[in-house]
Amino acid sequence: MSTTPLAAVPSVHRGAPVFRGRLGRDARSGHHAVPHRYRLHLSTASPDGLRLAVGHSILGLGDSCPVTFLPAVPDCPGGGHTALRPLYEASAHHYTGPALAPVLSDDWSGRIVSTHAPDILRDLDRFPRAGGAGLHPRGAQSVIEAVERMCAEGVEEPAQRAGRAGADPAERAAALEVLLDTLGRLERALSGEDHLVDGRLTAADVALWVTLVQLDTVHRCHLDASAVQRIAGHRALWACARRLTAHPAFGPHLDLDGIARRHDGRCQGLEAAGAAVQILDWASLVPDTPDASRR
C-alpha cells in the first residue's frame, strides 16, 4: 500500500479553487516537512507570490524547498499558468478551472499541497534549518495575525474601494478614511521601533512591506494627489519600507516591471492624479545582489 498522501480536496473561493493541505512536524500529518520534497511555484508580481518569496528567502530555504518563478502575466485565460496545469489536473479529478499561483506542491506525488498563501508561509517555518529564528515566534502569533488582518482589511481592501472607478464619492471618501486610520495605527505601532513584533523581523513585517509596495505601485494610481500625500505622511511606515527594501531578502524580489504589467492586464479602473505622486523610489532602494536576476 502506498504511503504517498492524497492531495487536499479543494474548496472554491470567488470562483477559484483553494487547496489547503498543511505540512506537519511529523509523518502522521500526511505531509512531513522534510527537505527536497516540496516546491514553491509563484510570481513575485502578485502580492501573495511576493510575500512567499520574501519569507522563503528570510528562512534560507533555497536548497531544501526550491522555487519555480512564474511569469508576471499569466498565460492562460482566467489568470492561470500553463506550467501549473499538470499539478491541478493531478490534484482534482476532471479539473477544468484556472491553474492559479501560488502553489506549494509535493514532488513525491506530483500533487498540490496548498494554494493558500498564509498557510504556506506558516508551513515554511516548519522546515529544518541551521540556526536563525522563524517568522512566527512562539507567543507572537496573535499579534502577527492582527497585523495581517489590518493589512488585508484595513489597507488593501479600502485602498481598492477608494480608487474604484464609478464608485459613489461618499463611499470612496469613507474607504479612504478607513485606510488612513489603519495606516495611523500601524504608524503608532512602529513609532521608535524597527519592527512590529518584539523588535525582530517576523511575518508581520513581511505582510506590511508587501502591502506598502502594493499601495505605492498599484493603488496610488487610482487615488487623487491629496490622498496620496496624506498616505505619504506616515513617515515611520515608509522609513520601514525603505529599510526592508534594502534587506537582501526583500528588495531583490521586487519586480516593479512585472507588477506594472500585471496591473495593466487586470485593472479596469481609471488613472488619477495620484499616479504622478510616487511615494518611494523603489528601484533605487533595491540592493545589488545576484538574487535580483532570478525572475
For position 293, what pLDDT does the model report? 39
Structure confidence at residue 179 (pLDDT): 98
pLDDT at 27: 63
Side chain identity, residue 32:
H
pTM value surpassing 0.85: yes
Q: Quick count: other Cβ atoms within 10 Å of Cβ 238?
A: 19
Collapse the DSSP code of 39 into the 3-class scheme (helix H, G, I; strand E, B; otherwise coil) and give the result: strand
Q: Which three cell numbers stand for residue 278?
A: 510616487
Q: Residue 42's beta-bridge partner residues?
A: 69
- Provide φ and ψ at 108, rounded to 5°: -70, -40
Q: Phi and psi at residue 31, in whole multiples of 5°? A: -125, 100
Q: Which domains does the chain have, with CATH numbers?
A: 11-124 (3.40.30.10), 141-293 (1.20.1050.10)
At residue 143, the 3 state secondary structure works out as: helix
Which pLDDT score is estimated for 230? 97
pLDDT along the chain (295 residues), means of 10: 42 66 75 92 97 97 95 90 95 88 95 94 88 85 96 97 89 97 97 93 98 97 96 97 98 97 82 90 86 44
pLDDT of the residue at 15: 52
Element (DSSP H or E) covering residue 244: helix 235-245
Q: Assign 183 to helix, strand or coil.
A: helix
Q: Quick check: helix, strand or coil at residue 122?
A: helix
pLDDT reported for residue 270: 79
The reported pLDDT for the residue numbered 1 is 30
Residue 30 has a pLDDT of: 76
